[in-house]
Amino acid sequence: MLRLFFDRRLFYSLVLAAVAFSGQMAFGQGLSALQIRKVGQRIWQNECAGKIEGLTSWNKGEDFASLGIGHFIWYPRGGKGPFEESFPPLVSYLQKRDVVLPSWLINAQACPWSTRQAFEADAHSERQVQLRKILAATVREQTEFIMARLNHAVPQLISAGGKQVRHSYEALSQTPEGMFAMIDYINFKGDGMNARERYKGEGWGLAQVLADMRGTDTAAFAEAAKRVLARRVQNSPPARGEQRWLPGWSNRCDGYKRPL
């Protein structure tokens, strides 16, 4: 059983430490600047259909906003769920990269919209328009933030998952397509180390996918990801209606088989 590693404050500090130590090109694990740009565009396409308006959204049936190319989670005040909140550390990362941010965003203690209805009613407000402009202008920084998340998670994934996870990671990291698959998936469904992100005791993150691979290429990764996500849906509370998302999730996984 993969053990709990994540503490939110520790995640923030590790990501920012990785930024300070590694420099902006280290996250790509050998990816060129062009490939990093392609990774960002693919993530944006996967999460937001590549549309500006998709950079600020709040999905039906969820209790948090999903922002940026990676649909980073931001809970309203008092909100608490099983999914890792990733937008606040992104804001901290952008500040470290000297991106000019409005004071309301820097000082926000929680998502300022308390419900999906309030969020959608405010879609054309100055704050959301401003937020979309910032997110559209920082695709590179958001991509590097996601890469940093993978970099800091790898030692713990290998330590917890053993030889199979190490073998899968090392094989995938040899190609740009393999790196993209892992970068996109860890943003998509997390690293799998958070004990709160479980249904019936089973996770659905990158750790679980690497452990379930029956081969060493991106096709094997894609098929393992589909099995893990199908298991998540099977284990999920019926009230969440997650079956409706599975076809789209499977299509996204099949995209890992394509050249970058």
According to DSSP, the residues that pair with 67 across neighbouring strands are: 56, 72
Q: Where are the alpha helices (DSSP H) in the chain?
A: 8-22, 33-48, 87-96, 103-106, 116-121, 126-137, 139-172, 176-189, 206-212, 218-235, 246-254
Amino acid 51: pLDDT? 95
Query: Cβ contacts of residue 95 below 8 Å, gap of 6+?
Result: 101, 106
Residue numbers in the chain where pLDDT is lower than 70: 1-30
Q: Which of 220, 223, 231 is nearest to 192 (CA)?
A: 231
How many domains are there within the chain?
A: 1
Amino acid 30: pLDDT? 65
For residue 54, the enclosing domain spans 1-260
Query: Cβ contacts of residue 67 below 8 Å, gap of 6+?
Result: 55, 56, 57, 74, 87, 131, 135
Query: Cβ contacts of residue 74 below 8 Å, gap of 6+?
Result: 64, 65, 66, 67, 85, 87, 88, 110, 111
Amino acid 236: pLDDT? 96
**pTM score:** 0.74
